[in-house]
Chain A
Amino acid sequence: MPQIPTIWSGVLSNPERKESYARQVREIDKNIGSFLSYNPDLTGSDTSEKKIFGGLPIAVKDNIAVTGLPLTCGSRILENLVAPYTATAVQRLEDAGAVVVGKTNLDEFGMGSSNENSALGTTVNPWDKERVPGGSSGGSAAAVAAGLVPLALGSDTGGSVRQPANFCGVYGLKPTYGSVSRFGLTAYASSLEVIGTLTRDIDLMETAFGIMSGIDENDQSSVSSDDSDLSIGDVSNVVMLSVAKDMLDNPVARAYMETGEALKAAGYNVTEVSLPSLDLVVPAYYTIATAEASANLARFNGIRYGYAPDFAENPAELMRKARHEGFGREVKLRILLGTYVLRSGFQDQYYGRAQKIRTLIRKELASVFSSADLLFMPVFPTQAFLKGDSEMDDFKQRIADVFTCLANLSGLPALSLPVSVENGLPTGVQFMAPSFGEQRLFKVARDLKDVFPLQIPPNYLDIGSLV
């Protein structure tokens, strides 16, 4: 009955092995910092429970609620918050037997591409400790890449699952918007974000997605794939996004071209396509994301939620002080931008226009999918960059979101998969499908699995050695 990888069953069925596993996770994570809190309670886990995920340890990004565990969002303003309820996506995995062993680091409120915007910890890339793990779900990606957990949850607002998965050499899935309930996910940009998964095992990813997805009465925007008439069908036509050569670093460009060749060798028809509005994607995305962030984060004011200063002369000062002392710089910047684009007199020029450009982009993608089964493109223009890299400042990181935030603006599912390791660092590509086309993504990932086998970083926790 359990559908977890056999190797994990061997560990979880033995108390001493479970203890040894937890001990080794702690040891390895001292050098990686993927967890903000690690409290494994594997005592109750038992593969004989006849549950699909009987005892499988999972990690959860620390902006997703799990009863009794911290919910810091990587922010000083929520440093002491303990979640009083569990997110639906997590609850469904727990009901299937999974055990949450810890909460993983992230850029504050999911705002960033490096994990350097976390106020509460530093996470490094397991492949190279001088480099970032990506973000914002960098802790989840690092934990999976280092073998600390077989599966981790992240959230993807503009690429926050796929980009760190790409930097750390694991699979990352951003499901169709609404297919996984957002109940229990701390809201950043509600119309864009979705809970996704990171793993080294595509079968495990598919099983987890099947368990997590579906309508949830606590999330009115949740949808069921039953509402769609899309079938996996004959997945044969793949289009490759036309990308200007100077947009990509050499290793990324090589991995991209290699994937095209591998697809042809696997029997796919591969053609090229360009998106005329590609250069509008980032400005439209950041206009909408920051507008929604400014509204969603208004609740963190020292009264309704979060840290409050010891003293203030009046309620307005209390709010200003709480937000001044509680938020980091990137969060303040995005709130500032979001407030600006929603200001009276500016709204049509910025927010209204961005929403119409979103329509334009969706139309262009619909046109692509009228004749193609899948679209593939790079994930990020570079491999994992150095910590504090002045060549990749915050502005450049935002510009580099062009390939990932396309799926968030359109609501479409996308999966990043590792292709190669060059200069000691992984790099990959991502595939995008029409709404509810996750099965197509799993299929192509399986077809490429043997061509591009996953590789392991230094200091990898080999679960097999515990059995």
Chain B
Amino acid sequence: MAQVQDEWSLTAELARLELDKDEALILAREAERMRELFLTMSRADVDKLEPTTNALELNNRIRSDYVDSFNNVESLIEASPEQEDDFFLIPNVL
């Protein structure tokens, strides 16, 4: 179990998730249960199948590449938790 726990702890680190000790135990147990469910996919013969990435198999429509102005800057800055003049404020982390 310790090895399993380490595996999920490493995954949490990669996901930038900090977990309490109790929470880490519960989540590792639940994640392991789901991983075992995922492993049941191994019985399917998928060798000759292409992966599906988009349900409709349509190509994305890409807009033409041109310079455009964005006129909603103020409301976006206002939507931030904190701001100063035209800047977002984030906690001091240096």
Q: A310 on the interface (CB 8 Å rule)?
A: yes
Residue of A nearest to B36 (CB): A283
Question: Are B35 and A340 interface neighbours, CB within 8 A?
Answer: yes
Q: B21 on the interface (CB 8 Å rule)?
A: no
Total of A-B residue pairs, C-beta within 8 Å: 174
Residue of A nearest to B30 (CB): A333
Question: Are A323 and B41 interface neighbours, CB within 8 A?
Answer: no
Q: A280-B40, A320-B16, A339-B14 are in contact. Are A315 and B51 (CB under 8 A)?
A: no
Q: A149 on the interface (CB 8 Å rule)?
A: no
Residues of A within 8 A of B12 (CB): 336, 339
Q: A308-B91, A324-B17, A339-B14 are in contact. Are A277 and B37 (CB under 8 A)?
A: no
Residues of B within 8 A of A262 (CB): none
Contact of B17 among A315, A317, A332, A355 (CB under 8 A): A332
Interface size on A, residues (CB 8 A): 82
Chain A stretch 118-148: residues in CB contact (< 8 A) with chain B: none
Shortest CB–CB separation between residue B79 and chain A, in angstroms? 5
Residues of B within 8 A of A215 (CB): 61
Shortest CB–CB separation between residue A411 and chain B, in angstroms? 2
Shortest CB–CB separation between residue A453 and chain B, in angstroms? 34
Segment from A32-40, A46-54, A81-89, A93-101 that makes contact with B: A81-89
Binding site of A, secondary structure by majority: helix, strand, loop or mixed? helix
Task: Kindly state the separation between the CA atoms of A208 and B12 in the bound complex, as whole angstroms.
Answer: 42
Question: Are B41 and A312 interface neighbours, CB within 8 A?
Answer: no
Question: Are B27 and A312 interface neighbours, CB within 8 A?
Answer: no
Q: B31 on the interface (CB 8 Å rule)?
A: yes
Task: Kindly state the separation between the CA atoms of A399 and B75 in the bound complex, as whole angstroms.
Answer: 42
Shortest CB–CB separation between residue A356 and chain B, in angstroms? 4
Contact of A277 among B34, B42, B44 (CB under 8 A): B44
Binding site of B, secondary structure by majority: helix, strand, loop or mixed? loop
Task: Kindly state the separation between the CA atoms of A415 and B30 in the bound complex, as whole angstroms.
Answer: 31
Question: Are B51 and A329 interface neighbours, CB within 8 A?
Answer: no
Scoring B residues 32 to 49 as 1 if CB is less than 8 Å from chain A, else 0, what string do you get?
A: 011101101110101001
Shortest CB–CB separation between residue B71 and chain A, in angstroms? 11
Task: Kindly state the separation between the CA atoms of A111 and B42 in the bound complex, as whole angstroms.
Answer: 26
Contact of B44 among A280, A341, A411 (CB under 8 A): A280
Residues of A within 8 A of B8 (CB): 336, 340
Residue of A nearest to B47 (CB): A356
Question: Are A362 and B55 interface neighbours, CB within 8 A?
Answer: yes
Residues of A within 8 A of B19 (CB): 324, 332
Q: A357 on the interface (CB 8 Å rule)?
A: yes
Residue of A nearest to B94 (CB): A314
Contact of B90 among A303, A335, A362 (CB under 8 A): A303
Q: B6 on the interface (CB 8 Å rule)?
A: no
Q: A259 on the interface (CB 8 Å rule)?
A: no
Task: Kindly state the separation between the CA atoms of A411 and B56 in the bound complex, as whole angstroms.
Answer: 7
Residues of B within 8 A of A318 (CB): 90-91, 93
Across the A-B interface, give the 4 residue pairs with the lowest CB-CB distance, nearest first. A411-B55, A355-B51, A356-B46, A320-B18
> Would you list 15 pairs from A and B whose C-beta atoms are within 8 A, ordered by A residue?
A84-B76, A85-B72, A192-B55, A286-B34, A286-B37, A307-B81, A308-B90, A318-B91, A339-B12, A340-B35, A356-B51, A358-B51, A359-B49, A409-B52, A409-B55
* Chain A positions near chain B (C-beta within 8 angstroms): 80-85, 176-178, 191-192, 215, 217, 220-223, 227, 277, 279-280, 282-284, 286-287, 294, 298, 301-303, 307-321, 323-324, 327, 329, 332-333, 335-341, 343, 349-350, 352-360, 362, 394-395, 398-399, 408-412, 435
